Chains A and B, each alone.
Chain A
Amino acid sequence: MQVEQESKSLLTFKTKMVPYLFLAPNLIIFSIFIILPAIIGIYYSFTDFDGLRSPNWVGFENYRRLWEDDRFRAAMWNTIRLVVATVPIVFMTSLFIALIIIRPLKARGFFRASYYWPVMISLIVVGFMWQWILNPRFGLFNSVITGLGFNASSTLLDARFAWWGVVFIFTWSRAGYYMIMFVAALLSVPVQLYEAAQIDGASKLQRFWYVTYPSIKPARIMVFILAAMEVFKIYPIIVTFTGGGPFRATRFTVQHIYETAFQSYEVGYASAMSVIMLLFVTVFTGINFFVSSRGERDA
């Protein structure tokens, strides 16, 4: 009797352990490579760590310095401006091509695949590709506009051109991805809603504005948040497109953090920048979720 009970409790212990064992590999990796670095990063941000000598505690010194650091502020501000400019453009482009692709076109699959294809190309190659097309000396862009009788542009040597170039190539590279999300949402709008609107005599534009647009709200919020997060951490595409130039015009937060840590070896200082960046991301997503869930209740 005693023995039987013991083996039974051992058995239930073993069955209780099963889900934890299945989860173990992932949880170990997450703890070591996400949670642990996050904690270490916060610790570093309060030290003068240079990557070699053992770190000394400096309190809020790094954060105080950040407050007065024009270069960091410029990189952050530049990133925020990029988010504000790029997200609506990506949003509208991907919604627009999604609306085209759900029309009963012949060879619809072919169009959809072609729009999606840039998503499959690495950001490094996308940046390089467009540097090749837009470079001022022997880019196709200049060959075309001089062929049309215009003066050659200084393209990527011009700060404004390069900055808007980033907006454009990001959109080019990612619109297909968000298009797919919109397509899924658009196809799940109930047909009855359109029929009812049509009976009521709504025009095409009215149908879009009063039926389609409100119905795809979850997808809209998702695309908005995902795109904003992506632009906020923009980096690889810049490496091969402009390298941050000309004159820091396309220098954004992640590049600044990377170079501060791995080229100037100011690891503690760079960690403080990362913490600030994380706060921005968290606050931004938090506000979005808050606003969108409140809108849900009002509706």
Chain B
Amino acid sequence: MRKAGIGSYVIAFIFLTIFLLPVFYIVFSSFKPSSELTSAAQTFFPREWTFRNFTRAFERGNFVLFIWNTFFVAVLSTLLAVLINTMSGYALAKFRFKGDKIILILILSTIMLPLEVIMVPIFSVLRFFGLYNSLWALIIPPAATPTGIFLMRQFLLKIPDEVLESARIDGASEWRIFYSIVAPNAKPAIATIAIFSFMWRWNDYVWPLIAIASPRRYTLQLAIANFAGEYNIDWNSTLAMSVVSMIPMLIVFLIFQRQFVQGTVETGMK
């Protein structure tokens, strides 16, 4: 293939700055002292560097608790998502049973019912089941994802039936077949579901907004949204919190970049 011309590089760099500079600017701003943050003449880099915003954020309003809540929710919900979506994907890929087509269509059609449309009655349902204002409301319901099931099903269709049959003839239990043959073979799909689930839960706002009332159970996004929505925004701590909230996603992204790219393609192909 021939090399790209200089023009391509120029355009590529223009978009690079559009996508990256605002993020860098937020990071640099979080190191500015109060006086600089509220000055009409903003500079890209801080004139004076300070860690005060971060220490203040950690002192103020249970910031550590918010991080812990978010982490707790994201990790547990991801584990649950991996388990139940792999199970369902396996059932739909490798079994013929009454109603299999209908169940698949039913699951896929739930994509058409966005959470935003049913948030009002979900509130009632959560109260009825005693999940209101509990972190479990952020862990259990969102773990079941139609895209996760579909992704897993498509992936597991590739496992040859003979492998499962011969294990059955050897007398292996269905559960044993699931965790010792199916799950290890589904690793790439599991990785995709895991990192997407972690990102969704870490960045989620609408579920916490409906389900959580008391500030002690806030997730990071809920806390940032509440601080940023105040009449007198505390720029210092909100900027610091935003920057800290991006760090885990940056780490996950740098490690699993390939899976993200792959997963975006696969989850899009609903």
A residues at B contact (CB < 8 Å) = 15-16, 18-20, 22-23, 25-27, 29-30, 32-38, 40-41, 44, 97, 100-101, 103-105, 109, 111-118, 120-125, 127-133, 137-140, 142-143, 172, 176-177, 180-181, 184, 222, 226, 229, 233, 235-236, 239-240, 243, 254, 257-258, 261-262, 267, 270-271, 274, 277-278, 281-282, 285
- Most chain B beta-carbon contacts within 10 A, residue among A30, A36, A112: A30
Q: Which residue of B lies closest to A140 (CB)?
A: B42
**Contact between chains at A132 and B235 (CB < 8 Å):** yes
What string of 1s and 0s marks CB contacts (under 8 Å) between B77-101 and chain A?
0000001110110111001010010
Known: A143-B40, A236-B225. A177 touches B245 (CB 8 A): no
The reply to whether A32 and B88 contact each other, CB–CB distance below 8 Å, is no
Pick the interface stretch among B57-65, B139-147, B186-194: B139-147
Residues of B within 8 A of A176 (CB): 19
Contact A26 B88 (CB under 8 A): yes
Residues of chain A contacted by B140 (CB below 8 angstroms): 29
From DSSP, what is the main secondary structure of chain A's interface residues?
A: helix
User: Measured between alpha carbons, how far is A142 from B40 in the docked complex, in Å?
Assistant: 8
State the CA gap A88–B15 with chains docked (Å). 18
Cross-chain pair count, CB within 8 angstroms: 242
Q: Does B261 contact A (CB under 8 A)?
A: yes
Interface residues of B in 1-58 (CB under 8 A from A): 1-4, 8-9, 11-12, 15-16, 18-20, 22-23, 25-26, 29, 37-44
Which residues of the other chain, B, contact A23 by a CB distance below 8 angstroms?
Answer: 87-88, 91-92, 103
- Are A124's CB and B12's CB within 8 A? no
Contact B144 A29 (CB under 8 A): yes
Q: Is the CB of A130 within 8 A of B22?
A: yes
Report if B69 contacts A (CB, 8 A). Answer: no
Residues of B within 8 A of A18 (CB): 91, 95, 174
Closest to B199 in A: A120
Asked if B172 is at the interface (CB within 8 A of a chain A CB), the reply is no
Q: Which residues of B contact A105 (CB under 8 A)?
A: 4, 8-9, 12
Pairwise interchain contact B268-A226, C-beta atoms closer than 8 A: yes
Q: Is B120 an interface residue (CB 8 A)?
A: yes
Q: Which listed residue (A128, A130, A184) contacts B224, Cβ 8 A? A: A128
Residues of chain B with a CB closer than 8 A to A109's CB: 257
In the complex, which of the residues B25, B43, B143, B260 contacts A29, with contact meaning CB atoms closer than 8 Å?
B143
B contacts with A, residue count (CB < 8 A): 91
User: In the complex the two chains form, is A33's CB within 8 Å of B88's CB?
Assistant: no
Whether the Cβ atoms of B264 and A180 lie closer than 8 Å is yes
Q: For A233, what are the chain B residues with a Cβ–Cβ distance below 8 Å?
A: 114, 116-117
| Residue in chain B with minimal CB distance to A152 | B40
Interface centre among B22, B37, B39 (most CB of A within 10 A): B22
Contact A121 B23 (CB under 8 A): yes
Q: Does B265 contact A180, Cβ atoms closer than 8 Å?
A: yes
Identify which of B26, B43, B202, B264 contacts A177 (C-beta below 8 A): B264
B178 CB–A CB distance under 8 Å: yes
A113 to chain B, nearest CB (A): 6
B242 at the interface (CB under 8 A from A): yes
